[in-house]
Chain A
Amino acid sequence: MAKLELLQSINGHKGIVWNVSWHPLGKVFASCGEDKIIKLWSKEGETWTMKTVLVDGHQRTIREIAWSPCGNFLASASFDGTTAVWDKKSGQFECNATLEGHENEVKSVAWSPSGQLLATCGRDKSVWVWEVAGEDEYVCEAVLNAHNQDVKKVAWHPSSDILASASYDNAVKMYKEDQLDSDWTCVATLQSHESTVWSLTFDKTGKRLATCSDDRTVKIWQEYSPDNQEGVSVDDKESSWKCVCTLSGYHTRCIYDITWCASTGLIATGCGDDIIRVFKEADDSDPNAPTFDLICTKLNAHSQDVNCVQWNPSGNQELVSCSDNGEIKIWKFFEQ
């Protein structure tokens, strides 16, 4: 039996904790929420302790935070319509750049694998791609209006500059820069969910994507490139993404977050039924019609909705989660 063992429960914030994000080395994580504060946590002996509080960066709820791949920058997306970039060049964390442009709430922020691009999305239905133009300087490369509703989440491919977004319009979209005219365009629309897509996560190869939705399902999507051996027809010169697996009947309420571990391949979900679940691909799984088994169900993981789950990037099987009631929890996954 596999299990999630609670390592520590932290009363982290006042009000909703919307997001927790591991530093790339996995020794620090950041948390944010309704109280407009970002907190940085690291381990002191065996205990996770709050080390830094970042205040006065935002006027409203901080919805999401993201570390740059180098670990030197932290970006924060807020309902106040701005994205702040924090760094500690001065020795202490400070907000040295504010990205403005979204009409209202910014819902998500993500750094590209090179750390040279930043994506944001929001309630105004748009996705923005920003380029790091110099020290504390960011320029808007593209405003992508492919969705026709609130955009909930952006995530970059693990190794290429391919961006994915999830929306209230039930769709997932992918974007790429055209090498000829350096225009960003939507290259794929992934349609299958029947309600809001709240989150998405690539696997380590970037050839698969997992999405979770208010329709209480998780879907696994597979990339088929124009020269694929499986004979999947691909229009255009772009890859096409097909839904190859739907995990339904496991979640009883809206699924708010999903995380795919790059080292173990395990998928964890955070759900409105207060449960954290872990799925594993079956050993005899067909790559073109994979099977995933539910291997762990942590009932009452939190006393309210689980808003975010993140595997520690160091691959040590730690998972961090957060909830509506101000809680942050750190878990260790064991498979026996």
Chain B
Amino acid sequence: MTKTADNVNPNVYDTYSEREITSNELNEDIVDEIDRREVFDLIRNINDPEHPLTLEELRVVEEGNIFVDNEKNVVNVYFTPTIPHCSMATLIGLSIRVQLLRALPSRFKVTVEVSEGTHMSEHAVNKQLADKERVAAALENNNLVQIINQCVVNS
């Protein structure tokens, strides 16, 4: 990439340990509800578009910023751009959305938003990510889909 990254030296954080599988989860007779840890596991290894780091290592996504309501079929993910003027915010949000659209059962209504107060264009980014028609149109753009697939490749 010839363009200089927005945030040249981002802070890098420790990652969580791998999820420990409990005996209940191995028991086929017990229904596993989808929980925030499971959603987190789906998105923690998404690559940052600019750095060879995951969204978890950059603390863009955190387990505590994920809300799941199985009864209402709602998954809300709040992500935190590394800097308030990050030009990649929409692309990162789109990668999270695409990963969850592909991985979660279709009954879920997925909302992906910037954590409140962490981006200058928070409202515009959120509106764009919430507009399913524009998301659908974006996902028909082959170049963009390639970039997103590179981001979600390890997830």
The residues of A with any CB-CB pair to B shorter than 8 Å are 16, 34, 60-61, 63, 79, 104-105, 107, 123, 150, 152, 168, 195-196, 214, 253-254, 272-273, 303-305, 324-325
Chain B 105-134 interface residues, beta-carbon cutoff 8 Å to A: 106-107, 109, 127, 130-134
B136 in contact with A107 (CB, 8 Å): no
The proximity string for B residues 76-109 relative to A, scoring 1 for CB distances below 8 Å and 0 otherwise, is 0000000000000000000000000000001101
A107 in contact with B133 (CB, 8 Å): yes
A305 in contact with B132 (CB, 8 Å): yes
B14 contacts partner chain A, Cβ-Cβ < 8 Å: no
Q: B107: which A residues are within 8 A, CB to CB?
A: 303-304
A196 in contact with B132 (CB, 8 Å): no
B140 contacts partner chain A, Cβ-Cβ < 8 Å: yes
Q: A105: which B residues are within 8 A, CB to CB?
A: 137
B140 in contact with A60 (CB, 8 Å): yes
B134 in contact with A150 (CB, 8 Å): yes
Q: Interface of chain B, helix or strand or loop or mixed?
A: helix
Query: A168–B128 Cα gap in the complex (Å)?
Result: 10
B127 in contact with A16 (CB, 8 Å): no
Give chain A nearest CB distance to B126 CB in angstroms: 10
B137 in contact with A61 (CB, 8 Å): yes
Give chain B nearest CB distance to A287 CB in angstroms: 35
**Contact check: which of A79, A107, A304 meets B106 at CB < 8 Å?**
A304
Give chain A nearest CB distance to B111 CB in angstroms: 9
B106 in contact with A325 (CB, 8 Å): yes
A34 in contact with B136 (CB, 8 Å): yes
**Contact A16:B134 (CB < 8 A) given known A196-B127, A253-B109:** no
In the complex, besides A60-B140, A63-B133, A253-B109, 4 extra interface pairs with C-beta distance below 8 angstroms are: A79-B137, A152-B133, A214-B127, A273-B109
A168 in contact with B131 (CB, 8 Å): yes
**Contact A79:B140 (CB < 8 A) given known A152-B133, A168-B131, A195-B127:** yes
Query: A304–B136 Cα gap in the complex (Å)?
Result: 15
Q: A305: which B residues are within 8 A, CB to CB?
A: 132
Q: A254: which B residues are within 8 A, CB to CB?
A: 130
Most A C-beta atoms less than 10 A away, residue of B107, B127, B130, B133: B133
Q: B136: which A residues are within 8 A, CB to CB?
A: 16, 34, 61, 79
Give chain A nearest CB distance to B151 CB in angstroms: 23
Give chain B nearest CB distance to A178 CB in angstroms: 33
Closest residue to A198 on the B side, CB-wise? B133
A196 in contact with B137 (CB, 8 Å): no
10 interchain residue pairs of minimum CB distance: A105-B137, A79-B137, A60-B140, A79-B140, A304-B106, A61-B140, A325-B106, A61-B136, A196-B131, A16-B136
